Each structure stands twice: as structure tokens, then as C-alpha cells.
Structure 1
Amino acid sequence: MASLQQQQGDDSDDGMDEFMDKFKKEKYKNGFNESTWEEEFDRVPMFMKSVPDVIDSSTHPELACIQHIIHDDDRSPEEHAEALKDEGNSYFKEKNYKRAILAYTEGLKKKCAETNVNAILHTNRAAAHFHLGNMRSALNDAAAARKLKPDHLKALIRGAQCFMELRLYTEALHWSEDGLQLQPTDKKLQELRAAADKQKRALERDARKAKVKEKRERGEKETLLAAIKERGIKLLKPKQPSKRRSDSEDEDVGPADMAGRELDGLTSQEATGVRVSLDEQGSLQWPVLFLYPEHQQTDFISAFRESSSFVDHLAVMFSEELPPWDVDRKYLPQNLELFFEDYEKESLHQVDPEQSLLKVLQHKRYFVKAGSPSFIVLVKDSPFFKLFLSGKKLQRL
């Protein structure tokens, strides 16, 4: 018997030796090519680094065969859904979130009876949507998973994360707390609850500050409007571009209308955005614009006290250092005359430089336009002065 076993062993060894000796004489023809072995190795489904977008039997026969097995119509909906879940997970690991979503969606379409599988498909699809920035879609999936399986911890975590990204901190806090009731020691849920609580408190604090600020500004607005009304200063209504207005509607704002007027209409159209204000002494400070049509220049005084006269400002603006555009050196305080325009009657009214700003603003034909009183400055008896005034109605104060 031993002799027979020894003989069989010898025969086997002889056969192996013969098989191995064959490779010494001739090269194995079905192996990988030395120069392209990496590419050929990557075509083997088990060792693929990534799944190709297009799979057919001519280019990837082994992979096509595997997919055919996965999608075999003879399999049950539960087997289909499970296989598609695994396929989606493979795409997810490769960070191919779009294809992962497609796989999870196909799995859900199988309508299998396994609640746990469907909940996982929803949760995993939520994760893929989350990584793509589709927060609303991710949240919908997290909610669907939670509805199927209320104690699904991953669905609660993903939902809380989505609420945080959407800045819905109250909801994020609720979802985090619901999850901690199931798993009190979960570190991720603890972090989410702490972050949501912090952001929620910050929003509430900011809302309180905004409410206090709004109340203060409303009080300041009412005080300012009352001061303007008391002085009898008239404001020109801004035209509304969305509504066609007739000439009769473009009238001044009377004292009865001023209490309801928004302060935005009193904001200067200058780049500074300055608007009329009340100082500590109860005096109005106006943003005033001086126009020099001869040179197409302007000056902007951000705070012209209503009690100050025009000559006070002109003396400072045109003192020893004259503006560079006044090459003829003629814009001296004693040479200047001021006018304001009556927009309704298309006429000019001369202003006495010795008068205060308040006195002029109270003139029956003066209307503050766009929040900034404006005045035209000309050099008396200059050629441009005569040309500018020719053909215009001039009213002297």
C-alpha cells in the first residue's frame, strides 16, 4: 500500500515538474503584458480603482456580467434593493456622489418590503446629496428615513447637519436632542446640539438688538420729522418709477403729510449718503450742495447748520486758497451770487448770502429735493452769468 502511495506521489510530482518545465521552454501566452499590465489589471472588476461611466460587454465583459447578475429580473425586490445599495456605496466611497444617488434611487424604486433597507437607502442618498451641497434634497431624504425608522440615528444626524447648513438652528437643535434621547453619548450629536444652541442664541440676541435699534431709529425719525414740520420746510416728493405720475401729483409735501414720510426720502443722493439730522441743541444740520455750472463743479457740505448764513461758508470755501478750477481767480466771496431753482415754475430765486439757511428753506417757493438743499453759485456780471440768466425767470428776494 505504501509503495502504491509513493508511486502516486511520485507520479504527481513528476506531472508538476513536467508542468513547471514547460514554462522554462515556452512563455505563458494568457498573462498580462509587461508594458500594459497595470491597465489590464485595472480592468479586473475586483481590482478596479473606479467604475467606468459606460459599461458594455465589448469593453468590460466581466463587469457587465456582474451588473447583469445584480439587475437580474429573477431576483426579489429585496435582493435588488440590497444589491443597488451596495453599488451606491461603492460609488460613494469613490466620491462619485451623482452615480451613488442614481444607484440609491433605483434601489428605492424596487419598493422592497424591508423597512430597514429603504431607510438606509434614503439615509445614504441624503449623505450623497449633502456632499453635493443639495441640502434641501438631503433633508427630504433624512426626513423620509426617519419616518420609516424613527430610531435611525444616522438619519437624525444627517438631518441636523442639513438644518445647520440651512441656518435653521431651532430645527437642528430639536433633531440633535431627539437623537441624544436615543444615544446620549453620541459625540457627533453632542457637537451638533452645542453648535445649534450657540447659533440659535446668537440669532435671538441679534434679533433683540435689531428690534431695539429699529425702535430707537423710529423715535429719531419721528422727532426729526416733527422738527421739519414745525419749521414749515417743504419736501419734494420723489417720483416713483413704477407708477406714472401726472404733473399735479408732483407737489410738495405739506405739513399734514410729513409725519408719514419715510426718512429714506430725506437721504442725500450724494455718495456719502448723509441725511439731515438734529444736533444736541435741537438745531437741524442739512447736507447742502453748491453747484457751479460755469465749470461743471460742485461742493458738498455734509452738515450745514440751519442757523448759519451762506456767507459764513463761502468765506471759508473761497478764502486764500481758491479752487484749482478757478484759473481766473474770480470766485471771491464778494463777487458771488446765489440762486435756488423753483422746479415747478422753472424759475430762479436769488438768495441773500447774509441770510441763514433756515430762512431760505422756509421760503414759500423752496422745496428740498432728494434730501439735499442745493444752490447755484455764479460770478456776478460775468459773461457766463449773463448768458445763464438770459431767458430765465428771475425772482429776487
Structure 2
Amino acid sequence: MALAPPAQAQSPCPPPAELARMYKNEGNEYFREKDYKRAIVAYTEGLKKKCEDPELNAMLHTNRGAAQFYLGNYRSALNDAIQAKKLKPTHLKAIIRGALCHMELKNFSEAIAWCEEGLRIESKEKKLVEMRAKADKLKRAEERDARKAKVMEKKEQCQKEILLAAIKERNIKLALEPSNGEEEISDGLAEISLDGFHADNAMGAKVHLDADGNLNWPVLFLYPEHGQTDFIAAFHENSRFIDHLMVMFAELPPWDLERKYLPSNLELYFEDEERAEMYELNPEHTLLQVLQHQRYFVKAGTPTVLAFVKRSPFSKNYFSGKKVHQL
């Protein structure tokens, strides 16, 4: 009777510590080749072996953190440094790496703390001495800039309040556009956002008080017939519309092919959107006189007027069916 062949002996699986070292060595090779992504994969595989050697695991975390650092993944690198330090509190490389990560993340107070922790272990470690001095300098600069910004913010806040008080004093109404799309009207200082009147026009111009305490507004002129606009960045509240028209149309614009846009041949209006009604302005009026009208609401910090050629076919068609008031 033939005997069954003996079972082949299976090679024993290497212990976790040995596998972890293999992956560490593999990661180190990739790291030397500057293939940091593969290095991270190798170190991660080594950590997955969960060997019971805290020093080996600390090295795996430290090395993986270094690879993450060179890829710009500073938070991941910091997490590895933290884990390495937990496993080996005196691991100087992990402490230096953690301090470097905090520097990159602009956490200067934390960087100083890590440097001091490392210097308690090695008081003459050059990297930590230099980094601590740099972190301290940057921290002081950051604190100084923060103080300056706070002073500037307070100054700007004060200027906004003065500006809003001037607007309120003149009984000028601001129309705010909340996020829900429903327009709100307010003329009370306490009721409107300090940013509510800021212009969002393309030029970035904003209403401001001049040295004499007069308001200067960014004003938009619309020419519906031609789809054109004019923009005055600082329209003095006591200036008349006719004065600006004389300057704006001292030369006829290239889009006015029929040569109709002469100051004396223009009519100006503003629209009451809530009532869908139009108001014709007197060009001899000042901007302030118009803004103080009970139905004028300044939207987005930029007063807007519409200009039409008198008795033109386009004008007649535009106003057909609309109620028009005269100031």
C-alpha cells in the first residue's frame, strides 16, 4: 500500500515587527528617491502591522510625517508628529517636525511651545533655537498687525457711523436688498447695516464726506435707448444735473449717430420701482434735492437716473402706459 506524500511545510509568517521594519526600509528608499507618495504608502503599511515596538512605530510616524511635509500636507504631517511624540516623548526629530508644521500653518505660539519642549531635551539643538527665535519674531509681528487692524477697523467703523448720520440728517432713504430678495427701506441709523449703503458698482466708488462735510455720491446715468451708461464717481450733493450734462456731452458720444444727445435736448428721470412709476427731474435741481424726494430710494449706494431724448419715438414708447410725475 503506497503511502501518501508528506504535507509540505508552510513557511511561517514574519512577525509584525519584522514586517513593519521591511515597510520602513521600503519607505526610506522611496523617500531618498523623493517619491514621497509611495513612501507614505509604505510607512502606512508598516503602521498597519501594529507591532508592539513603540520606537519603531514612532519612527514610522515621523518618517511618514516628513514625507507629508514635503508634499505640503502640513496638517497630516503634524498629526504624525503628535503620534510619534506620544509614542516616544523624547523623539527630537518628531518634535522638530511638529514645530516646522506649526510654522508653516502660522501657529507661532504652538511652534514656540514645541521648540521649548525640544530644547528641554537638547538645549543646544540649532534648528530649534533658530526656529524659536523666528517664531517669536513672527508672533510679535502678527500681534502688532492685529492691533493695527483693530485700530483701523474701529476708525472705519467710526467713519461709517458719521457717514450714516450725515445721510440720515438729510432724510435720504437707503434701499437695502436682503438675501431673500425682498427689498427693505430704512432711513434710521440703528435699522440699517453699516455696509448697507456701500456701492457694488464696477468702479468700486462709495459715497463719502469731503473736507467740508458735504456728501459726494457715485451716480450712474442710464441711456435705455442705446444700452449705454455714464458713471460719475463723485457727484457733489450740491451740484446740479445740468452742470454734469454740459461736461458729459460737451462732445457727442460715438454711439449717438443721430447727434440727438445734447444737454438741452435731454430729459432725466428716476424710477419708483415699488409703484412702477417714473419721476421727471428738473436738470436745474441739485443731486441733494432729488435724493431728498420722498419716493427716491438709493439702492446699493449708487443713485441712478435715466436719460431720454425729448419727445423721441423711443421715449414715447418707453413711457407708454406708465404714470409719470414731475418734480
Partner of 2:54: 115
**Distance change in 2, residues 1:193/1:393 (3 Å):** same
> Equivalents in 2 of 1:381, 1:111: separation in Å?
89
Query: 1:177: how far off?
Result: 2.0
Residues 117 and 310 of structure 1, relative CA distance in 2, 3 Å threshold: same
Q: What percentage of aligned pairs have identical amino acids? A: 60
**Does the alignment pair 1:134 with 2:73?**
yes
Matches within 5 A, 1:225-236: 225-236=164-175
1:252 aligns with 2:185: yes
Q: 1:296 aligns with which of 197, 220, 227?
A: 227
Range with greater deviation from structure 2 (343-352 or 76-85): 76-85
Residue 260 of structure 2 aligns to a residue in which SS? coil
**Alpha-carbon distance between aligned partners in 1 of 2:263 and 2:232, rounded to the nearest angstrom:** 17
Query: 5+ unaligned residues in a row in structure 1: which ranges?
Result: 1-71
Change (3 A) 1:116 1:346: same
Give the deviation of 1:86 after TM superposition: 2.8
Aligned to 1:281: 212
Secondary structure, counterpart of 1:264 in structure 2: coil
CA spacing shift, 1:322–1:87, aligned 2, 3 Å: closer
- Which residue identity lines up with residue 165 of structure 1 in the other structure? E
Query: How far apart are residue 369 of structure 1 and its match?
Result: 1.6
* SS state at 2:174 partner: strand
Does 2:198 match 1:267? yes
Counterpart residue identity of residue 273, structure 2: Y
Q: 2:310 — aligned with what? A: 380
**More helix per residue:** 1
Structure 2 unmatched runs, 5+: 1-10
Distance between the aligned counterparts of 1:115 and 1:360, measured in 2? 79
Partner Cα separation in structure 2 for residue 118 and residue 354 of structure 1: 84
Instruction: Report the counterpart of residue 8 of structure 2 in structure 1.
Output: none
Q: Over residues 96-124 of structure 1, what are the superposed CA-to-partner deviations in whole Å (9 max), with x where a residue is unaligned?
A: 33333333334334444433222222212
Normalised by the length of structure 2, the TM-score is 0.89
Aligned partners of 1:222 and 1:259 also within 8 Å:
no
User: Cα offset for 1:76?
Assistant: 4.6
TM-score (norm 1): 0.74
- Whole-angstrom distance in 2 between the partners of 1:194 and 1:201: 11
User: How far apart in 2 are the matches of 1:263 and 1:311?
Assistant: 32
Q: Secondary structure at the match of 2:289?
A: helix
Give the alignment partner of residue 349 of structure 1, picking from 257, 271, 279: 279
Q: Which has the higher contact order (CA 8 A, sep 6+)?
A: 2
Give the partner amino acid of 2:134.
A
Counterpart for residue 326 of structure 1? 256
Q: Is the 8 A contact 2:176 2:197 kept in 1?
A: no
- Other-structure match for 1:166: 105
Distance 1:381 1:86, change over 3 A: closer
Given candidates 180, 196, 221, the residue that maps to 2:135 is: 196
Q: CA deviation at 1:161?
A: 1.3
How far off is 1:176 after superposition? 1.5
Aligned partner of 1:211 in structure 2 is 150
RMSD: 2.1
Cα distance in 2, alignment partners of residues 194 and 359 from structure 1 = 62
The residue aligned with 1:313 is 244
Question: Cα deviations across residues 13-52 of structure 1 (Å, max 9, x unaligned)?
Answer: xxxxxxxxxxxxxxxxxxxxxxxxxxxxxxxxxxxxxxxx
Answering whether residue 76 of structure 2 is matched by residue 146 of structure 1, we say no
For 2:246, give the aligned amino acid: A
* 1:335 aligned partner: 265
Query: Which letter does structure 2 place at the counterpart of 1:252?
Result: I
Partner SS state of residue 195, structure 2:
helix
Secondary structure at the residue paired with 1:265?
Answer: coil
SS of 2:274 mapped into structure 1: coil
What is the CA-CA distance between 1:88 and the residue it aligns to? 2.8
Whole-angstrom CA distance in 2 between matches of 1:379 and 1:210: 50
Residues 75, 264 of structure 1: CA spacing in aligned structure 2 closer, same or farther, 3 A cutoff? Answer: same
3-state secondary structure, aligned to 2:119? helix
CA positional deviation for 1:144: 1.3
Residues 175 and 99 of structure 1, relative CA distance in 2, 3 Å threshold: same
The structural deviation recorded for 1:154 is: 0.4
Q: Return the alpha-carbon distance in structure 2 between the equivalents of residues 216 and 199 of structure 1.
A: 25
- The partner residue of 1:238 within 157, 160, 177 is 177
Report Cα offsets for 1:262-303 as digits up to 9, x if no partner: 243322332112111111111111111111122221111111
Counterpart of 1:91? 30
* Structure 1 counterpart of 2:295: 365
Corresponding letter in the other structure for 2:236 = R
1:184 alignment counterpart:
123
Q: What amino acid sits opposite 2:280 in the alignment?
A: Q
**Total equivalences in the alignment:** 317
Distance in 1 separating the partners of 2:234 and 2:280 = 22
Alignment equivalent of 1:389, drawn from 311, 319, 325: 319
CA shift, 1:239, in A, is 4.3
Judged with a 3 Å threshold, the aligned counterparts in structure 2 of structure 1 residues 380 and 108 are, in CA distance, closer, same or farther, namely closer
